[in-house]
Structure 1
Amino acid sequence: MVGRKAIYDFVDEAAEWAIGLRRGFHRWPELSNQEYRTSIRIKQELENLGIETEKVLDTGLVAIMNKNSNRKVVALRADMDALPIQEEVILPYASERKGVMHACGHDVHMAVLLGTAKVLNEIKEDINGTVKFIFQPAEETTGGAERMIKKGCLENPKVDYILGLHVKPDLPAGTLGLKYGKVHASSDMFRIVVKGKGSHGAYPELGIDAIVAASQIVTNAQSIVSRNVSPLNPAVITFGSFHGGNAMNIVSDRVILEGTLRALDKNTRDYLKTRLREVAKNTAKAAGASADVEFSKGYSALTNDNFIVDMIKELGMCEAGIDKIVELKEPSMGVEDFSFFLEKIPGAFFFLGSGYKGRENEGIHSGKFEVDEKCIKPGILIETLSVLKLLE
Structure 2
Amino acid sequence: MSDRAREMVLAPLDARMADLEALYEDLHRHPELSFQETRTAAEAARRLEADGYDVLTGVGRTGVVGVLRNGEGPTVLLRADMDALPVTEQSGLPYASTEPGVMHACGHDVHVTCLAGAAGLLAAGRDHWSGTLVVLFQPAEEDGGGAQKMIDDGLYSKVPVPDVVFAQHVAPLGAGLIAYHDGACMAAADSLRITFHGTGGHGSRPETTVDPILMAASFVQRVQSVVARETAPREQAVVTVGSFHAGDAPNVIPDRATVQLSIRTFDEEVRARVLAAVDRIARAEAAASGAARAPETETIATFPVTRNDSEALREVNTAFAGLFGEQALFPTDPASGSEDAGLLATAADAPLYYWWLGGWDPAAFRKAMEAGRLAQDIPSNHSAYFAPVQQPTLSMGTRALVAAALTRLAKDGAGA
Q: Normalising by structure 2, report the TM-score.
A: 0.85
**Any gaps of 5 or more consecutive residues in structure 1?**
none
Find out whether 1:339 has 2:346 as its counterpart. Answer: no
Contact conserved, 1:176 with 1:322, CA < 8 A, in 2? no
**Displacement of 1:321 after TM fit?**
4.4
The answer to whether the Cα contact below 8 Å between 1:65 and 1:124 also exists between their aligned partners in 2 is no
Distance 1:91 1:252 in 2: 43
Pair 1:356-2:361 in alignment = yes
Contact 1:197–1:252, Cα closer than 8 Å, also in 2: yes
Match of 1:358, SS state, is helix
2:332 alignment partner in structure 1: 328
SS at match of 2:239: strand
Report Cα offsets for 1:322-359 as digits up to 9, x if no partner. 75212112x22222221322433211111111111211
Kept in 2, the 8 Å contact 1:187–1:335? The answer is yes
Match of 1:380 among 389, 393, 398: 398
* Cα distance in 1 between the residues matched to 2:18 and 2:251: 65
Distance change (3 Å), C-alpha of 1:23 and 1:207: closer
Residue 28 of structure 1 corresponds to which residue in structure 2? 30
Deviation, structure 1 residue 196: 3.6
Return the alpha-carbon distance in structure 2 between the equivalents of residues 122 and 129 of structure 1. Answer: 14
Which of residues 151, 173, 188 in structure 2 aligns to 1:186?
Answer: 188
Deviation at 1:175, TM superposition (A): 0.8
Q: Name the stretch that deviates more: 157-166 or 208-217.
A: 208-217
Say whether the 8 Å CA contact 1:32–1:140 is kept in structure 2: yes
| Deviation of the 1:254 alpha carbon | 3.3
1:323–1:29 Cα change, 3 Å: farther
Q: Secondary structure at the match of 2:56?
A: strand
| Alignment correspondent of 1:305 | 309
Change (3 A) 1:137 1:109: same
Higher deviation after alignment, 206-215 or 231-240 = 206-215
Q: Displacement, 1:176?
A: 0.7
Residue-pair matches, total: 389
Deviations 1:264-283 (A, max 9, x none): 12222222222222222123
Distance in structure 2 (CA, Å) of the matches to 1:127 and 1:292: 57
Change (3 A) 1:279 1:15: same
What is the DSSP-based 3-state SS (H/G/I as helix, E as strand, rest coil) of the residue aligned with 2:76?
A: strand
Give yes or no for contact 1:43–1:61 (8 Å, CA) kept in 2.
Answer: yes
Deviation, 1:15, is: 3.5
SS of corresponding position for 2:363: coil
Distance, in Å, in 2 between the alignment partners of 1:198 and 1:91 is 48
Unaligned runs of 5+ in 2: 365-376, 410-414
Distance change (3 Å), C-alpha of 1:215 and 1:161: same
Would the alpha carbon gap of residues 104 and 220 (structure 1) be closer, same or farther in structure 2, given more than 3 Å must change? Answer: closer
The change in CA–CA distance for 1:226 and 1:132 in structure 2 (over 3 A counts) is: same
Helix, strand or coil at the partner of 1:381: helix
Amino acid at match of 1:378: M
Question: In structure 2, the residue corresponding to 1:274 is in which secondary structure?
Answer: helix
Residues of 2 paired with 1:26 and 1:250: CA distance?
44
1:107 match: secondary structure: helix
| Secondary structure, aligned partner of 2:224 | helix
Give CA-to-partner distance per residue, 1:231-277, whole Å, 9 cap, x none.
21111222233334565556655333332222112222222222222
Contact 2:342 2:352 survives alignment (8 Å):
no
**Cα deviation digits, residues 302-324 of structure 1 (max 9, x gap):** 11112222222222222344752
- Structure-2 change in CA distance of 1:7 and 1:221 (3 Å): same
Secondary structure at 1:174's aligned position in 2? coil
Q: 1:212 to 1:307 in 2, by over 3 A?
A: same
State the distance in 2 between where 1:252 and 1:29 align.
Answer: 37
3-state SS, counterpart of residue 194 of structure 1? strand
Per the TM alignment, residue 101 of structure 1 is displaced from its structure 2 partner at its CA by: 2.4
Retained in 1: the 8 A contact 2:199–2:209? yes
Q: CA deviation at 1:139?
A: 1.4
Q: Which shows bigger deviation, 378-387 or 13-22?
A: 13-22
Q: 2:386 aligns with which of 369, 372, 378?
A: 369
Alignment of 1:1-392 (within 5 A): 3-55=5-57, 56-66=59-69, 69-141=71-143, 143-155=145-157, 156-169=159-172, 171-198=173-200, 204-245=206-247, 248=250, 253-289=255-291, 290-296=293-299, 297-321=301-325, 324-329=328-333, 331-344=334-347, 345-359=350-364, 360-373=377-390, 374-391=392-409, 392=415
- Of 89-98 and 135-144, more deviation after overlay is shown by 89-98
Q: 1:364 aligns to what SS in structure 2?
A: coil
Q: What is the deviation of 1:226? A: 1.8
Q: CA RMSD in A?
A: 2.5
Give the drift of 1:145: 1.0
Distance 1:354 1:81 in 2: 18
Taking the aligned partners of 2:94 and 2:216, their CA distance within structure 1 comes to: 50
Label 1:185 to 1:7 Cα distance change in 2 as closer, same or farther (>3 A). same
Letter in 2 for 1:278: R
Q: Percent identity?
A: 33
Three-state SS of the structure 1 residue aligned to 2:155 is coil
The amino acid that maps onto 1:313 is N
Asked if the contact 2:79/2:165 (under 8 Å) is kept, the reply is yes
Question: How much does 1:157 deviate?
Answer: 1.4
Does the C-alpha gap of structure 1 residues 260 and 205 become closer, same or farther in structure 2, counting only changes over 3 Å?
same
User: Shift of residue 205 of structure 1?
Assistant: 4.7
Cα deviation code 1:371-391 (max 9, x no counterpart): 222111122222112111123
Corresponding residue for 2:367?
none
